[in-house]
Amino acid sequence: MKRRVAVTGLGIISPCGNNIDDFSFNIMAGKSGVRRISSAYSGLLSVKIAAEVDFNPLDYFIKRQVSTMDRVNQFALAAASQAWKDSELSLDAKEKERAGVYVGCCMGGESTIEDLYDRLFKHNADRVKPLTVLMAMNNASASYISIAYGLQGPCLTLSTACASSANAIGEAFRQIRDGYVDVMLAGGTEAFLTYGGFRSWESLRVLAEEDREDPSKSCKPFSKNRTGLVLGEGAAMVVLEEMESAVRRRAPIYAELMGYGSTSDAGHITRPSIEGQARAMEEAIKEAGLLSEDIDYINAHGTATYWNDLLETQAIKKVFDDYACKVPVSSTKSMHGHNMGAAGAIEFIVSLLAIKEQAVPPTINLDEPDPECDLDYVPNIGRKGVTVNTVMTNAFAFGGTNAVLIAGKMEE
């Protein structure tokens, strides 16, 4: 018999807030974290906006620890510490053997790699930092979390581009559902806003133009005048727990994680597939034991690139049919940017907060809708006092990987 899975802890480091209360307030209020890039090299870039995290690592770590961890690892541990504390979990030695960590990360220790190349090729250094490998490796964040909490079950890093953390949460869900473990700390982290990172993304020609009047209005998902995505960074972690155990210890339960769909387009490396996205949504709905009209809110992938917004709209129509125009859909990337490997986890938390607050966050900067993107995208102003019992989160990635999560409100 498959077991039910509860979400009992949330943690976040993001451009819209570094704790759940601040993040929830800002997202529901439509406050953007997109702004002019703060780094000195911004003058060398053609695109000068991003959704950066205002983060002081000394708020979480002692100075010696900071020097041994890349920014991406710092984000992950900070978000994990919030989630673990929020869950009120306390595991004994035996229970820790049945608790694991799954983290999604796309780019790894980008700052460390860039520093390495700067030392070698610009300054002709004959030595580099001795911990370079340990700081740069993609699995460092998951390992640091495992070590911090003594979690001795499976510890894996998933790297599926923009779907990484949604896949991490979905696969962690299956580990508990199928009886392999009882607790998972899962989510994603990304910190790739470096000079090389920006220049690489510039070359793809998918980045948004800066809004002439207000940089915070630059990301415009589903708009007729959308010009591309805005890069972001951050981390989000959730604690997943076997339901009976969570109920027994009277844990704070945000929702039940009910369904997960994972597919591959097997088509084009950058252009999405309506069929692949639709199958992922259908799989998640089926696994949750729901009908499409049971979904009360969809957090869209919604990158504000031309093809993504158009094809995701069509994929939602394919799955939801007549109900597609009735279900609220929003892209919160309009506020927190595209956080790559962390995006799915951040947006899953947004969806859980929609259940908690009984409110739907807006898609900001949606002043001139694209006629071909004609769903209810909750333009500019969020909705309070609405019924949100079941939510869906979409994460669709370069490479054609699609991941969809569905969560439902716990009955009183």
Amino acid at 308: N
Length of the chain: 412
Question: Considering 162, 219, 336, 373, which one is annotated as catalytic?
Answer: 162
| Three-state SS at 348 | helix
Residues 6 or more apart in contact with residue 290 via CB below 8 angstroms: 258, 259, 390, 406
The verdict on whether 336 is a catalytic residue reads no
Query: Other CB atoms closer than 10 Å to residue 157's CB: what's the count?
Result: 22
Q: Is the CB of residue 147 less than 8 Å from the CB of residue 157?
A: no
Q: Which helix (H) or strand (E) holds 242?
A: strand 234-242
∠338-351-323 over CA atoms, to 5°? 100
Q: How far apart (Å, rounded) are the C-alpha atoms in residues 251 and 208?
A: 42
Q: Both tokens of residue 340?
A: 């790559």
Q: Is the CB of residue 354 less than 8 Å from the CB of residue 291?
A: no
Cα distances from 187 to residues 84, 103, 190, 237, 346, in angstroms, run: 12, 5, 11, 4, 8
The verdict on whether 219 is a catalytic residue reads no
The verdict on whether 123 is a catalytic residue reads no
Which of the 8 DSSP states describes residue 271? S
Question: Considering 16, 219, 336, 338, which one is annotated as catalytic?
Answer: 338
Neighbouring C-alpha atoms within 13 Å toward the C-beta of 182: 12
Cα torsion through 36, 42, 45, 47, rounded to 10: -10
Q: How far apart (Å, rounded) are the C-alpha atoms in residues 166 and 163?
A: 5
**Residues linked to residue 99 through DSSP beta bridges, in sequence order:** 183
Q: How far apart (Å, rounded) are the C-alpha atoms in residues 26 and 68?
A: 32
Q: Is the CB of residue 54 less than 8 Å from the CB of residue 22?
A: no
Which of the 8 DSSP states describes residue 213? S
Q: Would you give the distance in Å from CA 266 to the centre of its chain?
A: 23
Question: Considering 16, 105, 219, 301, which one is annotated as catalytic?
Answer: 301
Q: How far apart (Å, rounded) are the C-alpha atoms in residues 364 and 302?
A: 12
Residues 6 or more apart in contact with residue 167 via CB below 8 angstroms: 104, 158, 160, 262, 344, 395, 401, 403
Radius of gyration of the chain (CA): 20
Write out the catalytic residue numbers.
162, 301, 338
